[in-house]
Amino acid sequence: MSGGEYAIDGGDFTTATGSVEPGAEIAVRAVSSLLYSGSAEAIVTVGTADGVSATFTVTTEPATARVDSPPPYPEGNSGSSQMMIPVSLNGESAVDVAVDDAVTGLTATAGVDFQPANDTLMIPAGSTSANVPVDILGDVLDEPDEQLLIQLSNPSAASLSQALATATIHDDDDPPTLSTADLQVLEGTNRSQAGLTVSLSVPEPEDGQQTPANFTVTLQNPILGETVTVD
Ligand SMILES: [Ca+2]
Ligand SMILES: [Ca+2]
Ligand SMILES: [Ca+2]
């Protein structure tokens, strides 16, 4: 017997040769391996020069690949760091598996919150998983958590059981706070000369851009007809 994967008489075939009595039957059962190998032929031959032979084909299905959402990833305050998106197979593959991956923004903004990517992920033979790395860009702005979309396509030596997953960038910045210095104005002085210092807690971003923020100034004892200016 020669060729690929097979069993004989319902059990594992452990030798390439054997003997049969005249009139006996040989039962050959095709079995699939646990590893993806496409199709393989097994050939059983009885006799030599005038013998008979039969060919059996064994086909194993390719692995299935899926992408899953990772835990929420902390954004960081500067530079970039890598969030790992897990892609897994349902079992080991005997051959390399390749799949294209695309990372785009849902509520996250490409180039601001993360770097978009189009790449090909390789899962080596014998492995069951690999990661899609995504560069996450840190900042110090208070924002909502934001979402990315990871999409798999064009698998090689595998099929896709789950091609889409979302990932969350967890905002780790506190909301800005507003503070004012105490202000005392003596009765009878020129009120228009009084100055009030207002401080915003959000630090300026590294690129020197202004940090947008909204705040409210409340006057405890407003005077009718008086104009208050906030710069
Ligand atoms: Ca941050
Ligand atoms: Ca951000
Ligand atoms: Ca932020």
Q: How many CA atoms lie within 13 A of 176 on its CB side?
A: 19
Q: How many CA atoms lie within 13 A of 24 on its CB side?
A: 9
According to the model, what pLDDT value does residue 14 have? Answer: 44
Give the number of the ligand closest to the Cα of residue 172: 1
Residue 72 has pLDDT above 60, yes or no: yes
Mean pLDDT of 37-53: 69
> Residue 190: which residues within 8 A CB-CB, separation 6 or more?
none
162 C-alpha to center of ligand 2: Å?
28
Give the number of the ligand closest to the Cα of residue 112: 2
What CATH class has 63-170?
Answer: mainly beta
Beta strands at 198-200 and 178-180: parallel, antiparallel or unpaired: antiparallel
Q: What ranges do the domains of the chain cover?
A: 2-59, 63-170
- Summarised one tens digit per residue, pLDDT across range 204-216 is 555 545 555 555 6
198 C-alpha to center of ligand 3: Å?
23
77 C-alpha to center of ligand 1: Å?
4
**CA 103/CA 114 separation, integer angstroms:** 9
Residue 180 tokens read as 């004012």
116 C-alpha to center of ligand 3: Å?
18
82 C-alpha to center of ligand 1: Å?
14
Residue 9 near residue 27, CB atoms below 8 Å: yes
Whole-number CA gyration radius for the chain: 35
142 C-alpha to center of ligand 3: Å?
5
- Summarised one tens digit per residue, pLDDT across range 178-231 is 777 666 666 665 555 556 666 666 555 555 455 555 556 666 666 666 666 666
Give the number of the ligand closest to the Cα of residue 78: 1
Element (H, E) at 101: strand 97-105
Residue 89 near residue 35, CB atoms below 8 Å: no
151 C-alpha to center of ligand 2: Å?
21
CA 36 to chain centre: 24
**CA 3/CA 56 separation, integer angstroms:** 9
According to the model, what pLDDT value does residue 9 have? Answer: 43
**CA 120/CA 183 separation, integer angstroms:** 62
Answer with the residue of higher pLDDT: 9 or 216.
Answer: 216
- Confidence band of 12 (pLDDT split at 50, 70, 90): very low
Strand, helix or coil for residue 42: strand
Phi, psi at residue 192, to the nearest 5°? -65, -15
75 C-alpha to center of ligand 1: Å?
5
Instruction: List the one residue out of 144, 145, 146, 142 whose CA is nearest residue 211.
Output: 142
Residue 46 tokens read as 């009885």
Phi, psi at residue 191, to the nearest 5°? -65, -25
What are the helix and strand counts (H, E) for the chain? 0, 17
